[in-house]
Structure 1
């Protein structure tokens, strides 16, 4: 995931980078790239269906069995994305292949605490825009539940290229070792590195949020992506919060997350459709964004250890 990569090193080995990527690197297709090849599930009751599916998953968890007996720590974050973001847009949930929608792996013994779960569960959901003028191309979130060793939530929103060079929105929130280490990051990733582009497309809409919560910000590291990474804005909100209450629903960082997402939805909903030339440029820059992250992704080793190298590749 993004924020852990920005805060290297987390452990003696590389950990999560941005799984906002959906590209191929060195001829290998990443797990997130597979998400982009699936066929949308056309269903007039898609919102009700997705909520039913989510409730069913939570019931399975509460009943024990092969899943953890408690819900994932960031389930409230996932629920908000579905009910308060996706539901307000003209999106349809995609039917992922079962092997990518959910997988149960094993927490490596070297990372396992005495009271930790031996299982690691990764779940993914994807929605896509259907109308020709839909402002959003795709929304995806991934959650990882490895008991007290790791709880993680990542969501990314790709704008429709037909709406021009709009930024890509992403959030990561992670908890390690029973909340002893926590990371949070949310950003509107610019499609062009020029400051003028950022001041036009991003600053007017998130600067006030960024400033209002200054007391909760931390300076990210630059080990993985460098000091001036191409696809990060100066308004990326990064934090190393302490204690589970700091990343719970209703916390100050929760407010940052929801306000970044609400502002983004409003901007995209009001954005006009552009001509084919501008649309092609926007698609090209989103592809470059994916490729850039895929080349710098240190998450494969960790996912390989938890879920198997073949599945991860």
Structure 2
């Protein structure tokens, strides 16, 4: 078992969000109207890296719901993301461990998305083995259900991981070509740029043939574990066509950082069945370049903790890859 390496800020405390009381009165009243009773309490979500409003709200009638909201003029990208997530959640197969959508509204220059509230908590690091097992089981259920995508989801025209990789994930080639500055690298990977470029370049080809759908952003902070021990997967904005092992590798970064045998967890999971022998290495190379490069250009609209978390995630990706490759 490797030593654990905690993130710079715990995942359950990374968010910087507006409080319920700061939302426009017209928006608060409209949300209450849709919930059929005034909101009397709001518990802000502590996880996440955007500055959008997100909270479990409780009404005077005792109803609980999870509401996300963003200002149309100031946060247009968030509005687009919430609208996309609403469309995706509405079309996911029933019974999956994903929050169910209730409604959306557009009022007072704000867009709001309401979901069923999940009574759960963000897993802590290092991972509790039972919570990690539950999360891996939940993802196995999701991956199996999306292997043959429902026509309603396919009809949304979702992107393909192969294209996303070429457009926005593969950064080591840009660094090697001098189009991006070289990020500070830990010692084992300092002289490995050619190998990193070669490994990450395999990802689009490996992903191109995938016909199923994947979550696309499967991380510890997008998981909630309920009192029964069931793990729920949240934040479905980035659903795309791709191989399930890509999601699995991204999730297991925090297992590696927790000192667990992430190689064994990857190898025995159903989502890794049929993966190319070096699919995990190609994914870790790509993720390391993405996180380390984008850490230097995090948007001002994001949580102030995002750059440090991206840097940490990139270092964990590189550390795991270096150990697998035998780099010293």
Q: TM-score, normalised by structure 2?
A: 0.25
Q: Max radius of gyration: which structure?
A: 2
More helix by share: 2
Structure (1 or 2) with the greater strand fraction: 1
